[in-house]
Structure formats: structure tokens, C-alpha cells
């Protein structure tokens, strides 16, 4: 698989409504994971919030969305990120992108193993653009 570059939209509490709407617009397959599924928030009120939503249309469009936890800043108008993702075979390429994007910027979440089994990190580059890098975990043997 090749590395993908995708828009990633952030919401405070309505990512599920938004990504479900986009599914009616673009069609395709929608997957949604919540913070509760991965025990990724200490706030029980956030258990049903969308940790990661991904819509893949039949013609290859990919749109991702998530709710922003209450512990993180959320500023409408600056609620997007760019996501780079790929398989474990793409790790060297993705880590190279991460190193260059985070150099001179701010690492908001280090590139390290995530609760869902992948390697994941977040940074803001020196131009103020938010980036998410996800390297899929090694496939099961």
C-alpha cells in the first residue's frame, strides 16, 4: 500500500453527525471508533465521542474526523489537520516525513505506539499546520 495524504477535520462534540452527513454526500464505507472503545479518555462523559472516523468513498476519496477531547484546545476555523498514513512497510518513509515536519515545529503527541496498535504522532509544523502521522501495526502472522 502507498502512503496516503488525507484531510482530517476536528469537532468538539459533533464529529459523528458531521462524518455521517459526509457519508450521505460522498457515499462509501464509514468506520467510527470512540474514545471509550480504546480507553483513551479519563472522562467517562467522553466515552462516546469519536476518537477516529474514516469515510472511504467508492472512488477513493478519504475523509477523516474526530471529536476534540475537552482537555485539548478547540478553535473553530482552525479545526483541520493533514493526515499521513500507511502500512508498516511504509514506516521509514513516514518516519522521514515526521522528522522533517516536526523539525522546527511543535510535537503535540510523540510518534509512538498507540492504544489501537499502530504508531501515531501529532505535530504542528513551523508554518502552523497540524499533521497526524499513523503507521499501521505489523500485520498479524
Cα atoms in the 13 Å half-sphere on the side-chain side of 134? 17
Residue 141 lies in a domain: no
42 part of a folded domain: yes
pLDDT on residue 75: 84
- Which CATH number do you get for residue 100? 3.10.180.10
Return the pLDDT at 139. 67
Per-10-residue mean pLDDT of the chain, 141 residues long, equals 83 92 90 92 90 90 91 82 89 92 94 94 88 85 59
Domain count, the chain: 1
pLDDT at 43: 87
What integer pLDDT is reported at residue 1 of this predicted model?
59
Which domain range does residue 123 map to?
4-135
Question: What's this model's pTM, rounded to 2 decimal places?
Answer: 0.69
In a domain, 140, yes or no: no
Q: Is 136 left (phi over 0), alpha (psi -120 to 50) or beta?
A: beta
- pLDDT at position 17 is 92
Q: How many CB atoms lie within 10 A of CB 16?
A: 19
Distance CA 122, CA 134 (A): 9
Amino acid at each position: 500500500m502507498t502512503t496516503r495524504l488525507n484531510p482530517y477535520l476536528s469537532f468538539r462534540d459533533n464529529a459523528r453527525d458531521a462524518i455521517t452527513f459526509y457519508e450521505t454526500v460522498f457515499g462509501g464505507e464509514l468506520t467510527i471508533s470512540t474514545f471509550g472503545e480504546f480507553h483513551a479518555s479519563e472522562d467517562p462523559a467522553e466515552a462516546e465521542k469519536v476518537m477516529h472516523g474514516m469515510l472511504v468513498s467508492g472512488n477513493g476519496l478519504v475523509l477523516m474526523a474526530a471529536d476534540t477531547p475537552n482537555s485539548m484546545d478547540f478553535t473553530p476555523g482552525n479545526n483541520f489537520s493533514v493526515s499521513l498514513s500507511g502500512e508498516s512497510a511504509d514506516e521509514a518513509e513516514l518516519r522521514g516525513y515526521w522528522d522533517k515536519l516536526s523539525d522546527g515545529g511543535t510535537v503535540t503527541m510523540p510518534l509512538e505506539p498507540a492504544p489501537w496498535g499502530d504508531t501515531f504522532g501529532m505535530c504542528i509544523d513551523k508554518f502552523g499546520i497540524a499533521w497526524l502521522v499513523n503507521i499501521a501495526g505489523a500485520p498479524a502472522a
